Structure 1
Amino acid sequence: MSTTSTAPSDGERPSAAPALQESLAELIDLSLLGKQAHWNVYGKNFRALHQQLDDVVEFARQSADTVAERLVAIGANADGRASTVAAESGLPALEEGSLPDTTVVTFMVEAYTTTIANMRHRIEALGSTDSVSQDLLIGITAELEKQSWMFQAEMA
């Protein structure tokens, strides 16, 4: 019995794997930053932001898992270790301690802006090598844009 590989060819894999790994690191970092803000936010919009940050964390974790599984499906390795995430994520750092609600909103808009810009760059890079991975990142980016819009609405 023979099997047919549907994964990208060896020539395509080097282009797809780095884009997916970078996305994985950022999504893990986004989930951690969201949880850090969730624990430390205070202010008049505490409750709404507390719940909104739970949505951030849940989506980022689910998306990270999906991206990691795609990496393995194309024959690469997923690396979600803390040291890798710290080295590879391009997201801004969140200050420690108690965080006013306005600071959290501004930070999340910045984090989303960075993530979305990076995802769009990866989507473009994947266009000629792996349309399945590209489609995966397009779907994730659409939801990131929606969540970003919701934080931006808090700034109005």
Structure 2
Amino acid sequence: MAAVKSPLSEESKKTVAEALQASLVDLIDLALVAKQAHWNLTGRNFKVVHEHLDEVVDLARQSQDDVAERAVAIGANPDGRSRTVADRTDIPQLEAGYLDDDKVVAAITDVLSQIIGRFRERIEALDEPDPVSQDLLISITAELEKQHWMFQAQT
């Protein structure tokens, strides 16, 4: 089987691949957490929060595909298997059962804040080895920050 040749040095490829893989795990789990909240949401602001959660899911799913495809483009293999995500996620999980809309808004605001912090660290780490991957993470971070602002405004 032919491997994709990386346009990066081996050292740069390793750094970038690690940043992209960690970002992929964050984005996959963000989609899962937001969908779990979407399904179990209750409360007076149900409709607004319910629909807003789908925006987060759509952003996370599109972004995870972009991140995974970038990894392949630099010759790295993305790993989005459920076991990998479960083992490597840093996202706090929601409790089981029905979830009050105020608790969901607070939890998603917090989750987005944590992910944004990690993305910003990765952006700094990619400045030298790969500005192209850095640019991808910058654009995703901008969208995550927009969602964070919109959830935070509901608290």
Common fold, TM-score beyond 0.5? yes
Aligned to 1:151: 151
**Separation in structure 2 between the aligned mates of residue 11 and residue 120 of structure 1, nearest angstrom:** 21
1:130 matched to 2:130: yes
- Poorly superposed stretches of 4+, deviation over 2 Å: none
1:91 matched to 2:68: no
User: In structure 1, what residue type is equivalent to 2:142?
Assistant: A
**Separation in structure 2 between the aligned mates of residue 59 and residue 125 of structure 1, nearest angstrom:** 23
TM-score (norm 2): 0.95
Tell me the SS of whatever aligns to 2:153.
helix
Are the equivalent residues in 1 in contact too, given 2:6–2:13 (CA < 8 A)? no
Q: What's the offset of the Cα at 1:43?
A: 0.4
Q: What's the offset of the Cα at 1:6?
A: 6.9
Matches within 5 A, 1:5-44: 7-44=7-44
Q: 1:108 to 1:57 in 2, by over 3 A?
A: same
Tell me the SS of whatever aligns to 2:10.
coil
**Separation in structure 2 between the aligned mates of residue 145 and residue 107 of structure 1, nearest angstrom:** 15
List runs of 5+ in structure 1 lacking aligned partners.
Answer: none
List runs of 5+ in structure 2 lacking aligned partners.
Answer: none
Are the equivalent residues in 1 in contact too, given 2:6–2:75 (CA < 8 A)? no
Deviations 1:59-104 (A, max 9, x none): 1000000000000000000100011111122111111110000010
Q: What's the offset of the Cα at 1:9?
A: 2.0
Cα RMSD for the two superposed structures: 1.0
Deviations 1:8-30 (A, max 9, x none): 22221011000000000000000
Tell me the SS of whatever aligns to 1:77.
coil
